[in-house]
């Protein structure tokens, strides 16, 4: 029989006895007027620097409003300076920092705001911001690694397009003139390439083709914006070989890091799960953490909740066992931190595997395309002497 939900919260949160656990509702929005800067976008490096500076200043005993003013003087970019100025004015007017941040959803996401709100309730904002800075830096480095892994294939694709276009539009027409002058037919493979090049060079046909592609692309874009389209993309994210492993490792690392941070700063497990749910940009992970939260409300342990929840198979059995050990020993935060560290290293290995796999695949695919065009051009060359002799 499951324990009572109230009893479970006390077991999972060793610090619950020191005060009431903060109630976090990341889904609630703020009506604060931030019409001047709500559309401002900030680069990840600038955001990381801001959070790091704010954490250090608060840890040194500087008041929040004064810390914001000090940071504003050092910021050079006008848009970001405007945003921080509005934040400072809101804080000075008596608004909480989390509610002030909520007016800038394009800069501070719901996870960021929820963690700040939790730190306000626990009185450990500097500690939370320090960990949040490390988390943002990790996310930024991960995105840079993935973009770096895709740079090589992208450059290779551009080179392939340039080489193929040169062969088809400049070299091939010369052979066509020679063969047409002698009344000879080109080899079959060359004829296919010629037909394709003529299609690309026909304005009327290309207009029709481009129109169809645009309409199809708009239809696809609309479908991907629907609930079923998003679920399809989310399904692909976690099931594509290698790529799916990278995505799952990224989500698990982020989730365990958030859990470690919030548990160690006194936030109870149920509110921690709510924040983790907001940090996931995948339908299946969101659904899993929502089910975990419901199971915890019913009195189940965290580890047991993950195990019996829908899509709980996204979390490896080893993680569940480690979380169970952390619950039993009262060191859930420490265990979560160890899991996040392990999965951060595993994520690096997954990215390296992805990079080592994508390079030979791109070489094979692009080599096949260029090779086919090259062979189609070489075949007429092999027969050119006999054609000219005629």
Q: Which of 97-101, 116-120, 370-374 has the highest mean pLDDT?
A: 97-101
Query: Do 11 and 51 fall within a single domain?
Result: no
**Residue 313 DSSP SS3:** helix
Query: Do 12 and 106 fall within a single domain?
Result: no
Query: Do 109 and 77 fall within a single domain?
Result: yes
Query: Do 255 and 154 fall within a single domain?
Result: yes
Task: Give residue 30's pLDDT.
Answer: 43
What's the rounded Cα separation, in Å, for the pair 111 and 113?
A: 5
Domain boundary at 85, 107, 129, which?
A: 129
Q: How confident is the model at residue 389 (pLDDT cuts 50, 70, 90)?
A: low
Query: Do 173 and 256 fall within a single domain?
Result: yes
Q: What is the pLDDT of residues 152-194, one digit of tens each?
A: 777 877 887 787 777 777 777 776 777 677 666 777 887 888 7
- If one compares 379 and 218, the residue with the highest pLDDT of the two is 218
Q: Which domain holds residue 102?
A: 28-129
359 has a pLDDT exceeding 80 = no
Task: Give residue 240's pLDDT.
Answer: 86
Query: Do 34 and 21 fall within a single domain?
Result: no
Number of domains in the chain: 2
Query: Do 102 and 157 fall within a single domain?
Result: no
Q: What is the mean pLDDT of the segment spanning 8-24?
A: 39
Q: How confident is the model at residue 232 (pLDDT cuts 50, 70, 90)?
A: very high
Domain boundary at 129, 156, 178, which?
A: 129
Q: How confident is the model at residue 384 (pLDDT cuts 50, 70, 90)?
A: low
309 has a pLDDT exceeding 70 = yes
Query: Do 303 and 235 fall within a single domain?
Result: yes
Task: Give residue 108's pLDDT.
Answer: 87
Domain boundary at 129, 148, 163, which?
A: 129
17 has a pLDDT exceeding 60 = no
What's the rounded Cα separation, in Å, for the pair 244 and 238?
A: 4
Query: Do 208 and 289 fall within a single domain?
Result: yes
Per the CB < 8 A criterion, the answer to whether 243 and 233 are in contact is: no
What's the rounded Cα separation, in Å, for the pair 307 and 235?
A: 20
354 has a pLDDT exceeding 80 = no
Q: What is the mean pLDDT of the segment spanning 92-118?
A: 85
Q: How confident is the model at residue 225 (pLDDT cuts 50, 70, 90)?
A: confident
For residue 143 the two structure tokens come to 């995105």
Query: Do 159 and 308 fall within a single domain?
Result: yes
Query: Do 168 and 267 fall within a single domain?
Result: yes
Q: What is the mean pLDDT of the chain?
A: 79
Query: Do 109 and 32 fall within a single domain?
Result: yes
Q: Which of 1-15, 41-55, 280-294 is predicted least confidently?
A: 1-15
Distances (CA, A) of 202 to 108, 199, 291: 49, 5, 56
CATH (domain of 65): 1.20.81.30
Q: What is the mean pLDDT of the segment spanning 109-137?
A: 80
Q: Residue 312 phi/psi, 5° resolution?
A: -65, -15
Task: Give residue 25's pLDDT.
Answer: 47
Per the CB < 8 A criterion, the answer to whether 279 and 373 are in contact is: no
Q: What is the mean pLDDT of the segment spanning 66-88?
A: 88
- If one compares 232 and 123, the residue with the highest pLDDT of the two is 232
Q: What is the pLDDT of residues 24-55, one digit of tens each?
A: 444 444 444 444 445 677 788 888 899 999 98
């Amino acid at each position: 029989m499951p324990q009572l939900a109230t009893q479970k919260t006390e077991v999972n949160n060793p610090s619950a006895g020191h005060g009431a656990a903060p109630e976090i509702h990341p889904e609630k929005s703020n009506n604060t007027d931030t019409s001047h800067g709500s559309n401002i976008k900030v680069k990840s490096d600038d955001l990381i620097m801001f959070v790091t500076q704010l954490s250090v200043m608060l840890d040194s005993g500087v008041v929040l409003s004064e810390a914001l003013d000090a940071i504003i003087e050092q910021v050079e970019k006008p848009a970001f300076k405007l945003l921080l100025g509005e934040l400072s004015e809101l804080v000075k007017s008596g608004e909480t920092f989390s509610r002030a941040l909520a007016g800038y959803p394009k800069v501070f996401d719901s996870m960021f705001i929820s963690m700040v709100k939790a730190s306000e309730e626990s009185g450990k904002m500097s500690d939370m911001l320090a960990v949040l800075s490390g988390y943002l830096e990790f996310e930024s480095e991960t995105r840079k690694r993935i973009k770096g892994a895709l740079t090589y294939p992208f450059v290779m694709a551009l080179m392939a397009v340039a080489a193929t276009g040169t062969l088809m539009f400049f070299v091939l027409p010369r052979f066509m003139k020679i063969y047409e002058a002698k009344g000879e037919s080109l080899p079959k493979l060359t004829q296919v390439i010629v037909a394709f090049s003529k299609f690309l060079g026909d304005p009327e046909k290309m207009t029709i083709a481009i129109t169809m592609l645009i309409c199809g692309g708009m239809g696809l874009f609309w479908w991907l914006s629907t609930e079923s389209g998003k679920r399809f993309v989310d399904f692909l994210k976690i099931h594509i070989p290698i790529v799916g492993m990278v995505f799952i490792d990224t989500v698990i690392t982020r989730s365990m890091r958030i859990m470690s941070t919030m548990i160690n700063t006194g936030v109870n497990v149920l509110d921690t799960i709510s924040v983790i749910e907001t940090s996931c940009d995948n339908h299946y992970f969101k659904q899993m953490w929502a089910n975990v939260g419901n199971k915890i409300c019913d009195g189940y342990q965290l580890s047991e909740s993950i195990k019996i929840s829908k899509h709980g198979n996204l979390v490896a059995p080893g993680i569940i066992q480690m979380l169970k050990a952390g619950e039993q020993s009262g060191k859930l935060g420490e265990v979560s931190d160890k899991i996040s560290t392990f999965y951060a290293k595993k994520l690096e290995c997954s990215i390296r595997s992805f990079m080592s796999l994508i390079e030979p695949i791109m070489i094979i695919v692009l080599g096949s395309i260029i090779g086919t065009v090259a062979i189609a051009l070489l075949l007429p060359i092999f027969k050119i002497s006999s054609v000219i002799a005629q």
